Amino acid sequence: MGKLSRKGAAAALIVASLAAACGGEDAGSAGTPERAAASGPVTLEFWGWAPGYDKSVELWNASHPDVKVVFNTVPSGGKGGYQKMFSAVKAGNAPCLAQVGFESVPTFLSEGALEDVSAHAAGAEGKFSDFSWNQVVYGGKVVGIPVDVGPQALFYRTDVFEKFEIDVPATWDEYRAAAEKLHRADPSYRIANLSTESYWFAGLVSQAGGTWFDIQGDSWKVGIDGEASRKVAAYWQDLADRDLVATDAPWSPEWFKGLASGKTATVPGAVWMTGILAENAKDSKGKWAVAPMPQWQAGGASFGNEGGSTTAVLKGCEHPREATEFATWMSTDPASLANLITVTGIYPAATAGLELPEANQEVEFFGGQKIYDVFKAAAAATDPGWKWGPIMTQTDATFQDAFGKALQGDGTLAEALAAVQRKVVADFTAKGLSVAAG
């Protein structure tokens, strides 16, 4: 796999490490000799929840009469969809295809729920960004086909910035100065709402050069409270201590009200925030713009990623070749991508998708700005070596609980990071995973 980063060699041990927690099963392998291609028409079931996926399936079915895909909607992953998939794999009646977030791929491996589709994905690697491809390769084995990525940028209210004569910040120091100026002018405004979500924070940590999970020898190394994490936490702790940021719960009515009113002046977030803003802050149409994420060093070009997903082939699929063919088509076919960009709201993992008109259009909600130019640059400068741990649903819950308490005055963000580190290490150990000291 020519595109694997320096962490690729370490990642090669992940499958073995996860398999040890599953009684020795090779979680990333098909476990059987390569299956022959089907001799007649094939039907593939596909489980997911994203709007627009069904339309891409219709497009495929219209032009591929020998391989029919049936899309069935399930709850989103964290709301029961993943557990439904795990149960189906264990019962031997799982669908061939499943929508799986990048952060959950290691969890699926630990559950022995994915097929190794390396033999069927030959040639696909060059169609995707380095970052996205590295999210579906473990132990040198391909376990899915990327669909989308979530490069981060800075959404900001142009009307608020103009009213208070604030320049768009290019660095985090300038962002702090903007927060101070805004607060001095009108304390009812905040520069941002500090999120308690681990995936958002992880994107900022990645931008700062950190990593949360790695392999040391035959063991996991957990670095949630590493130097980069502490740096990011200290920065936002300072803003919170001085009441320069709001601390409303993400996705709460108060959180949405701040965005709609402009009292929350910026959102450092992923590309998919475009749809969230357009849907939930409709009256602010034309008052938002997108800028590159502030940098730690002037002139820098480092960005984080928040989100992204793959179409995975679940364990036991009788037609992995056809399933992989469909998954690759869905992520790379121009008509499918046009649908997914406009209806689902994805930012494509396929490099060719970035050249489509739908990914380069002026966006009316953002005052006619070609916002995807910003995300294109961010996606190209995201660390491709970032990897997730094997129990991210549990890790995210632990993180949100600890950060939520800290923002309510129960300790600091630095103390919360240390607490999350301890809990995640204990959770790894309880699952039978070896954890390296330090």
CA atoms within 13 A on the CB side of 215: 21
Residues 6+ apart with CB under 8 A from 4: 11, 134, 137
132 and 160 in a single domain? The answer is no
Statement: residue 48 has pLDDT above 80: yes
The first and second tokens of residue 296, run together, are 């730690």
User: Does residue 438 lie in a domain region?
Assistant: no
User: Does residue 382 lie in a domain region?
Assistant: no
Query: How many Å apart are CA 140 and CA 78, to the nearest integer?
Result: 27
Band of pLDDT at residue 38, cut at 50, 70 and 90:
low
pLDDT of residue 346: 94
The total number of structural domains in the chain stands at: 2
The first and second tokens of residue 289, run together, are 């713009």
27 against 306, higher pLDDT: 306
H or E element, residue 155:
strand 145-157
Q: Tokens 């291609």: give the residue.
A: 37
Positions of E strands within 206-281: 213-216, 219-222, 266-270
First-last CA distance in the chain: 30
136 and 12 in a single domain? The answer is yes
pLDDT of residue 272: 92
Question: Which of helix, strand or coil describes residue 429?
Answer: helix
Q: What is the per-residue burial (b if ≥16 Cβ within 10 Å, else e) of 420-431?
A: bbebbbebbeee
Q: How many CB atoms lie within 10 A of CB 435?
A: 16
Statement: residue 3 has pLDDT above 50: no
230 and 353 in a single domain? The answer is no
Whether the Cβ atoms of residue 311 and residue 320 lie closer than 8 Å to each other: no
Show the domain range for 90: 8-149+306-377
Statement: residue 27 has pLDDT above 70: no
In single-letter form, the type of residue at position 418 comes to A
User: Does residue 366 lie in a domain region?
Assistant: yes
User: Does residue 2 lie in a domain region?
Assistant: no
Query: How many Å apart are CA 264 and CA 31, to the nearest integer?
Result: 52
Q: What is the per-residue burial (b if ≥16 Cβ within 10 Å, else e) of 292-319?
A: bbbbbeeebebbbbbbbbbbbbbbbbeb
Statement: residue 8 has pLDDT above 90: no
Where among 377, 396, 418 does a domain terminate? Answer: 377
Positions of E strands within 186-331: 213-216, 219-222, 266-270, 288-291, 305-313
pLDDT tens for residues 98-144?
999 999 999 999 899 999 999 999 999 999 999 999 999 988 899 99
DSSP assignment string, 379-417: HHTB-TT----TTHHHHHHHHHHHHHHHHTTSS-HHHHH
pLDDT tens for residues 253-288?
999 999 999 999 999 999 999 989 999 999 999 999
User: Does residue 91 lie in a domain region?
Assistant: yes
266 and 360 in a single domain? The answer is no
Q: How many CB atoms lie within 10 A of CB 357?
A: 9
Lowest-pLDDT choice from 5-19, 47-61, 299-313, 370-384:
5-19
Whether the Cβ atoms of residue 305 and residue 269 lie closer than 8 Å to each other: no
Band of pLDDT at residue 39, cut at 50, 70 and 90:
low
121 and 89 in a single domain? The answer is yes
- Output the domain CATH number for residue 164: 3.40.190.10
pLDDT of residue 66: 96
300 and 261 in a single domain? The answer is yes
Q: What sign has the CA pseudo-torsion 31, 321, 56, 331?
A: positive
299 and 338 in a single domain? The answer is no
Statement: residue 4 has pLDDT above 50: no
Question: Which of helix, strand or coil describes residue 28?
Answer: coil
Query: How many Å apart are CA 216 and CA 235, to the nearest integer?
Result: 29
267 and 159 in a single domain? The answer is yes
168 and 285 in a single domain? The answer is yes
Strand 42-48 vs strand 97-101: parallel, antiparallel, or unpaired? parallel
169 and 99 in a single domain? The answer is no
Backbone angles phi, psi at 296, to 5 degrees: -75, -30
In single-letter form, the type of residue at position 192 comes to A
105 and 163 in a single domain? The answer is no
Q: What is the per-residue burial (b if ≥16 Cβ within 10 Å, else e) of 79-116?
A: eebbeebbebbeeeebbbbbbbbbbbbbbbbbbbbbbb
Where among 353, 377, 401 does a domain terminate? Answer: 377
User: Does residue 161 lie in a domain region?
Assistant: yes
Statement: residue 242 has pLDDT above 70: yes
270 and 155 in a single domain? The answer is yes
User: Does residue 393 lie in a domain region?
Assistant: yes
User: Does residue 3 lie in a domain region?
Assistant: no
